[in-house]
Structure 1
Amino acid sequence: MKGMSRARLVRRTLIVALVVGIAYVTIVAAAWVFQRQLIYLPSSPPTLTAAEAIPGAREVELTTSDGLELSAWFVEPDTQGVVLIAPGNAGNRQHRAALAQELAANGLGVLLMDYRGYGGNPGSPTEFGLAQDARAAVEYLYAEAGVPHDQVVYFGESLGTGVVSELATEYPPAAMVLRSPFTSLADVGQHHYRFLPVRWLLKDRYPVAEHVTHPALESVPITVILGTRDSVVPTHFSRHVAEVAGANVVEIAGANHNDRSLNSGEDVVRAIVQASADVGINATQE
């Protein structure tokens, strides 16, 4: 009888292990299939026109190398200097209008882009696709808006830090400001999903720490902005990016990832204006 009980216990243990294993494999498979729906969270088109959202702004079209026409908002600079804003993984350009307004009020031009699949734009977002979108944006500034190479500042927000840091390896800006940068998307994903093999699963990687050490950025001044209570991109990731980049660090005490103070607050605006001024772009500091 004892042998029978032991055999039943072994069978039950094996069955439980099998069920758990199947469940885990199912979760991993779902994560593989649907990962981009978890990473990219675009919203519907803006409800305001460019001029309604940002006084003096106009709608422009960015043409990507794979033939997409992407809508963006552009504000001409008062004198010189344009900030290219690469958004995070959610929302649309209207959600960054407050930052663009503040920068324009300081005399800076702004190109506020939306990626493919965002804000009513065609296409589906991927790391490679967003890289093409960013190239279309900077090429618009150079070729169509006539902005000199040494008058362009990149500002990347969260996921956008991966976009502009990669862009900078081919098109170095006058200066670059990274808000809530992560070392890589794989690192921050593994931090949040410890039970999944994120580094093995991930298709889009955005290796920011690798990009900022690229030889093309040796003479590009970099500023890192972080919130000390960021729950999405923990501060140690942003600090590591700053360390390997030799960047200036601006800390916003008590700020979480989506707080206004970390999106369009005075410290963020001041950091971008100062980074522009440090490379000779004559913004009007209010």
Structure 2
Amino acid sequence: MKFGSIAIVSLIVLLLTGCTTIKVEESHFLYPDKKITMQDIQNVDATAKKQEVTLSTYEGITLKGTLIKVADARATVIYFGGNQFRVSAAGGDPAKLLLPFQVNILMMDHRGYGLSSGVPSVANLKADALLVFDYVKGRADLSTLPVVIHGHSLGSMIAGYVASQRNVDALVLEGSVTNVEQMTAARIPWFAKPFVSVEFSEEINQVDNLKVLQVYQAPLLIITGEKDTQTPPELAEDLYQHAKSQQKQLYIAKGKHHSNALTGKQLATHYRQLLKQITLSKSS
């Protein structure tokens, strides 16, 4: 059962003793795939073309993904999805939402997810992300374009790591955490905290976007949903406050949640500003 279904059932039980009426729709339980189709992406940009990408790691693991190229692209966005993200099932939404900014988009299945082989771990997801970045910079048709690293949820941790290891042109953290310890603390109710002790493995403790942003200097866009309960907005605000970049933006999408912040009405304003900052940085 997905988190959304669990939350709905819990809410129903909670409200049984009250007089509140809630409406349960089919959409609360049905989650159809949102694939990338040529018709959809060409409705956004008639020049869009789709290519399948296969990468091999040094130990022989195969990573699969999709590259969408557009004419006269302003940049290439490498999009790292969240936990359970699969390009074939969920790539349609980010593709349609980001293509209007005249950018190429590369989305890969994480190791062990979708069409990619292997078993995921923090260490190999980091290594795979660097492989993906280096692949883009090594392609003759992409190498001269700026690269935007865009990570959502789990992908934001990976994106932050890439920004700490490579010279990226811009970083987008969507539904991000500061670090796992603060995220966990934010999700434990205050009344339960005295009774809960949490231990973090060394690998998990190394995931820390707060530290990354205290060093990162290039254009930065932090996105969160106003009603995000998985990575609450205060985590995004903390990231923004500690970020050293002089070209930083914080966008809290009104009325949006963890999975749909990119549908916020002001996304275009912030994303276009990010791309403008890249251009100015390149020309200075």
Q: Aligned ranges for residues 263-274 of structure 1 at < 5 Å?
A: 263-274=262-273
Q: Structure 1 residues 203, 87: closer, same or farther in 2, change over 3 A?
A: same
Question: Residue 161 of structure 1: SS of its match in structure 2?
Answer: helix
Q: How does 1:168-207 map to 2 (within 5 A)?
A: 168-193=163-188, 194=193, 195-201=195-201, 203-205=203-205, 206-207=207-208
Matches within 5 A, 1:1-286: 48=35, 51=38, 54-55=41-42, 56-80=49-73, 81-93=75-87, 94-144=89-139, 146-148=141-143, 151-193=146-188, 194=193, 195-201=195-201, 203-205=203-205, 206-214=207-215, 217-218=216-217, 220-246=218-244, 247-258=248-259, 260=260, 262-280=261-279
Superposed CA offset, 1:1-25 (max 9, x none)? xxxxxxxxxxxxxxxxxxxxxxxxx
Checking the alignment, whether the CA contact within 8 Å between 2:186 and 2:232 is kept in structure 1 is no
Structure 1 residue runs without a partner (length 5+): 1-45, 282-286
Maintained 8 Å contact 2:172/2:221: yes
Distance 1:122 1:47 in 2: 22
- Amino acid across the alignment from 1:250: Y
Distance 2:213 2:144 in 1: 19
Q: Could you say what the CA RMSD is over the residues aligned between the two structures, in angstroms?
A: 2.5
Task: Tell me if structure 1 keeps the 8 A contact 2:55–2:62.
Answer: yes
1:279 corresponds to which letter in structure 2? Answer: I
Deviation at 1:174, TM superposition (A): 1.0
More helix by share: 1
Counterparts of 1:114 and 1:52, CA distance in 2: 22
Question: Matched residues, percent identical?
Answer: 21
- 2: CA distance, partners of 1:123 / 1:190: 31
Distance of 2:53 and 2:208 partners within structure 1: 30
TM-score by length of 1: 0.72
Could you tell me which amino acid in structure 2 is paired with residue 89 of structure 1?
N
Question: What's the CA shift for 1:202?
Answer: 6.5
- How many residue pairs were aligned? 231
Counterpart in the other structure of 1:26 = none
Q: Select the structure of larger CA radius of gyration.
A: 1
Contact 1:65-1:132 at 8 Å conserved across structures: no
Gaps of 5+ in 2: 1-32, 43-48
